[in-house]
Chain A
């Protein structure tokens, strides 16, 4: 690639390729992303971030597609990040969520990015937080995150979404299973999709009784029936999402979460940077690694690295003269 300068220029010029490349850098946790994000810092606005999760085939992509249509009708710019699992054998992936979103393929106000869930150094949360930041800086009002709820990735994505929509369907047989499996806790809104099929009402009842069994919550997740394939119930879904966002604002939870997120992010970076450099140091410094092996436990080596290495734990590519304002 032709260097950070060009990337920043392309990004600023609104060239989609600049954005796409920057997101790749973020996915690889390339430390140079720091320079781009610091350059863009004044233009950073956080978009509204909505997460969609649920079992395979529940209609998440169709729902996201319909919501993109609705939001575009309101003149909002929308980015979609769709996360699919990787093959445990090869690490490869077939990312097929775009198929359902083809009608937005040539709309300049829509950006769609597919990601493999695995192979994110520092985790999927770290990558998606940074991607969200880039998408906000690029001018998107909404970021819709889709993940299949079968493992860890939906939890990581829920951690970065403002509002998480859990998508269930009738006749799935496993909706109760899903609820038990802890996905309940991450739901801010329930969408009972495929409400054109028999049994939707029953799923609504099941969710309701689950909610009633649990502890009394400050936010009671609304349950919305949708037929994503016919774009039905989307207004109601968006309204439920907006009510949740309002709740976050008025209770101060939005600001609190934002602060928590940024603290987590800074702490994660400390770990990530230090780890990366420490490992390299242990590989390169024969004397140090000999002493570590002699010591047989890792504590003294870790302490020594942290206390003696100091600022050289920051990867060279990430170093910059930028300092925070002092108060």
Chain B
């Protein structure tokens, strides 16, 4: 509707797990900002409950999870579960990290929309989001 201002896509970006590096996720945050999205960065060591609460409070349509500690098979599905518990299964979840192909297939089955591995160029994430949210 033209009378109502279009709202930019809002993305909660979070580091889950115990590793303490956030250089990678900050690079992603900047790329998403430069693509015109609003990125809510919540910082390090987020639990699934914290991430989901932030997404609900912020009315975000997307959650981006970054994880390098190897716990993706427990933490990513835990976020999906928490979203379902809060009746927010419509929020899109994507992830990034060093994740083997077999695990990617499994995570997608569990409801993670897409996984980006460290080799992937940043534009890939932007292109994917634009395609998924043509109005955002």
A interface list, Cβ under 8 A from B = 16-17, 20-21, 23-24, 27-31, 86-87, 89-96, 98-99, 102, 105-106, 111-114, 116, 119-121, 276, 280, 315, 317
Contact = CB atoms under 8 A, between A and B. Distances in A.
B36 A98 contact: no
A23 B42 contact: no
B39 A95 contact: yes
Contacts of A28: 4-7
Contacts of B40: 95-96, 98, 114
A92 B34 contact: yes
Contacts of B39: 92-95
Contact of A94 (B5, B33, B36): B33
Q: Which of A28, A95, A113 has the most CB of B within 10 A?
A: A95
Contact of A276 (B3, B54, B59): B3
A95 B43 contact: no
Interface of B: 2-8, 29-30, 32-43, 46, 49-50, 53-54, 56-59, 86-88
Contact of A87 (B33, B42, B46, B87): B33
Nearest to A107: B53
A92 B35 contact: yes
A249 B54 CA distance: 35
B36 A92 contact: yes
B50 A94 contact: no
A29 B5 contact: yes
B10 to A, nearest CB: 8
B57 A93 contact: no
Given A17-B88, A27-B7, A106-B49, A92 B37 contact: yes
Nearest to B9: A92
A16 B53 CA distance: 9
B4 A90 contact: no
A29 B4 contact: yes
- A-B pairs, 7 with minimum CB distance: A99-B43, A20-B59, A92-B33, A90-B36, A92-B36, A105-B50, A121-B5
A150 B54 CA distance: 27
A119 B41 CA distance: 20
A121 B39 CA distance: 20
B33 A106 contact: no
B53 A92 contact: no
A116 B38 contact: yes
A21 B8 contact: no
A16 B5 CA distance: 23
Q: Which of A16, A93, A112, A280 has the most CB of B within 10 A?
A: A93
B38 A95 contact: yes
A182 B88 CA distance: 44
Contacts of B4: 28-31
Nearest to A19: B57
Contacts of A16: 53, 56-57
Nearest to B43: A99
A99 B33 contact: no
A99 B38 CA distance: 15
Given A92-B38, A98-B43, A99-B41, A113 B57 contact: yes
A23 B59 contact: yes
Given A93-B39, A94-B41, A98-B43, A87 B34 contact: yes
